[in-house]
Chains A and B, each alone.
Chain A
Amino acid sequence: MRLEVTLITGRSLAQGTAREAEKTKPEYVKAAAICELDPADLKKLGVDDGAPVRVRTEYGSVVVYATASTQAPHLGIAFIPLGPWANQVIRSDTDKIGTPSFKGVHAEIEPAQGETVEDAVKLLSKTIKGK
């Protein structure tokens, strides 16, 4: 099953408290490596709350945990908190004004059973070659 959604990103309390100093810790994964879906969309996709899913856009793809949204209803909208996971798939084009599109990006979501959700450090070192 593949679900077509509009992807938005933004702040959440959990991402906000992990933001300051715990980016290398598992808490950050729990807070920001998630994709909040409307419970009905989660059912449509056929995955349990907390199961890994792959989010794919024109700009990249990333594996995160699907979770039932507490900010529902929002059928057809997926929310990934700000952070390196979201930044793999948002639209980087700045439309000549300097700001990438962190919201309103077309995305496809599919179950990713057996795939690993990487922590922030691993995710970055996998996708970006360091010094």
Chain B
Amino acid sequence: MATKVVSDAVCTYCGCLCDDIEVLVQDGKIVDVRHACILGTSRFFDYLRPERMVKPLIRVDGELKETSIDEAVKKAAEILAKAERPLLYGWSMAGCEAHQVGIELAEEIGAVIDDTTSVCHGPSVIALQEVGISTCTLGEVKNRADLVIYWGSNPMQAHPRHMSRYTVYPRGFFRERGWRDRVLVVIDVRKTDTAKLATRFLQVEPNGDYELISALRLAVNGNKIPEKVAGVPREEIEKLAEIMKSCHFGAIFFGLGVTSSAGKNRNIDNVLSLVRDLGAYTKFVIFPMRGHYNVTGFGQVLTWETGFPFAVDFSRNYPRYNPGETTAVDVLLREEADAALIVASDPAAHFPRKAVEHLAKIPVITIEPFRSLTTQYATVAIPSAITGIEVEGTAYRMDHVPLRLHKVVEPPEGRLPDREILKMILEHVRALKTGAGQA
């Protein structure tokens, strides 16, 4: 039996992008995964699952039927070239190389291109454009932080290795005793698994984050605060303000508990400003807990290509960015999109029902390794190889560190990388446009 150990595999599940994974490959099949969490391990074994799509599918008389890659690409190109308001969505589970081709395609057909940021940390991105952000790499946090705060984020369930690899538990250059040298504070509406590990837990009322952040800012700046704010007693807020001001290096990691509750981007404005205030007393940094493995990468690629981080509209032949108007959910809620290309994402499972209702009505093309819930509304479904397992690529960790994703096993026959499929569609679209121009 031919056995090999791939010792520098990168996990392509969440924004932690753990790059210390060892994968044991026997006769071309993954048989063991070491160091990864339960989510990462499931990702590495995904490629074996029966829901894996084998051949491209095309809808004929209401039924999805198998077809060739050439036919599927041709049909996809026809749909996109003909559309007046196409939406290109997904991207956060794909490599940066696919992003680049996707953006080129969006420009070519005058599409709206958006990624999962707009249903996730979109408010955070909007806020950090307004306020700015004090940040660093996760390596700096590991080596220096003596205060770690998770706010509206439950890494024990969503980013299981975040605390053990980057923040609370590892030994760092200036934190030689690991967790003994650090204080962990959790602010959440529930006593989560993460909160149960905390030295200090502040249970905030739902939708009360803005008030609590404001109270903390007042306390940090030496002002009086009411007896209770958003369910948290004054003493606890004042104590936390004191801990924050007196630490050597503090880091806040915030999740959708803050971005998705009432106030949304204004909550983030406020918490970024709190970190700025703390800069007068000590070193303080802040990070959004990015979910999908390369959601940060899409923001990077789109920004260097167009100047904007998500939700870009090319319909006027130049990039325009106006969240609330050019964001995927809004384009669907207003029933504007007349075709959609979904790459490495499953909006049917994750968009509000009303948005999915419109998606179900229009022609949808999916490029995705698996049959997803969106596939059931697809007109064309093209299976792809899995980046980071079957093909190489580039992804950005949640702290904007780019990492090279390695190939662990060969892709199954006929499964092309998503970037190649996108290139084929782009070439077809261009050929259709030139042909139309000549006619």
Binary contact readout B353-384 vs A (1 if CB under 8 angstroms, 0 otherwise): 11111001100000000111100110100000
Q: Would you call B46 an interface residue if the criterion is a C-beta within 8 Å of the partner chain's C-beta atoms?
A: yes
Residues of B within 8 A of A23 (CB): 51, 346, 349, 372-373
Q: In the complex the two chains form, is A95's CB within 8 Å of B46's CB? A: no
Interface flags for A89-131 (1: CB within 8 Å of B; 0: not) read 0111011111111111000000000000000110011011111
Query: B59 to chain A: which residues have CB within 8 Å?
Result: 131
Q: Does A26 contact B (CB under 8 A)?
A: no
With most chain A CB atoms within 10 A of its CB, the pick from B46, B59, B376 is: B376
* Residues B373 and A84 in contact, CB atoms below 8 Å apart: yes
- Is B29 interfacial (CB 8 A cutoff)? no
- Residue of B62, B256, B357 near A128 (CB, 8 A) is B357
A130 touching B376, Cβ below 8 Å: yes
Cross-chain contact B377 with A74 (CB below 8 angstroms): no
State the A residues within 8 Å of B (CB): 6, 8, 10-13, 16-17, 20-25, 59-60, 69-74, 77, 79, 82-84, 87-88, 90-92, 94-104, 120-121, 124-125, 127-131
Instruction: Please name all residues of chain B whose beta carbon is closer than 8 Å to the beta carbon of A82 when the two chains form the complex.
Output: 350
Contact at B256–A98, with CB atoms within 8 Å? no
Residue of A nearest to B52 (CB): A21
Per-position binary interface string of chain B over residues 114-150, scored 1 when its CB falls under 8 Å from any chain A CB and 0 otherwise: 1000111011001000000000000000000000000
Determine which of B126, B206, B207, B357 lies in contact with A97 in the assembled complex, contact meaning CB atoms within 8 Å. Answer: B126
1/0 per residue, CB under 8 A from A, across B17-51: the answer is 00000000000000000000011001100100101
Select one of B260, B361, B372 contacting A103, CB under 8 A. Answer: B260
Contact A83 B349 (CB under 8 A): yes
Q: How far is the CA of A104 from the CA of B120 in the complex (A)?
A: 15
Partner of B329, one of A8, A17, A71, A94: A94
Binary flags per residue of B189-229, CB closer than 8 Å to A gives 1, else 0: 11111010000000000110000000000000000000000
When the two chains form the complex, which single residue of B189, B257, B353, B379 contacts A87, counting CB atoms closer than 8 Å?
B353
Known: A21-B46, A92-B329, A131-B59. A99 touches B123 (CB 8 A): yes
Contact A10 B373 (CB under 8 A): no
Output the least CB separation between A19 and chain B (Å): 8
